[in-house]
Amino acid sequence: MSCAEIETNVLSKQCGALQCYPLRLCPGEELQTTLAQFVRSRGLEAAFVLSCVGSVTKAHLRMANSTDTKLYTQGPYEIVSLVGTLSGGSSGHLHTSLSDAQGEVVGGHVLGQMVVHTTAEVVIGNVQGLVFTREPDSRTGYDELCVN
């Protein structure tokens, strides 16, 4: 069933076994690229971020509901959250929240350039038997998640 055939706002499929992949990224590694390479190299087809803690020196983010509003920010920042899917697209679909030395938080859609400062401890989950893909959705104008 394609996304276009689904009439509800809920995409769901029965899940298989959950696999977990803990990894640590080192200083200087670009987070989004490294995670995408990890997923591709292991052939993970329904991967997502379970957990992430660490810090970054900079980030390039897109703000809510806009293709034009982008933020390029220099850190260091603590990673307060990182969520999203890693399969079904070239670099996945990630959102993050980052806090600075004063505790101020900035967040958005990750466009890249999230360079690890000291560490990034990430746990990736993958659901066996599912495949994440992305297809154009005329309602949003973006390639959106399809669960197969």
- Phi/psi for 6 (5° steps) reads -85, 125
pLDDT digits (tens, 9 = 90+) for 105-137: 999 999 999 999 999 999 999 999 999 999 999
**10-14, 15-19, 89-93: segment of lowest average pLDDT:** 10-14
**Domains, in order of start, for the chain:** 24-147 (3.30.1330.80)
Alpha-carbon distance of 121 to 38, in angstroms, equals 14
Q: What is the DSSP string of 70-126?
A: EEEEEEEEEEEEEEEE-SSSSS-EEEEEEE-TT--EEEEEEEEEEEEEEEEEEEEEE
pLDDT digits (tens, 9 = 90+) for 14-34: 677 999 999 999 999 999 999
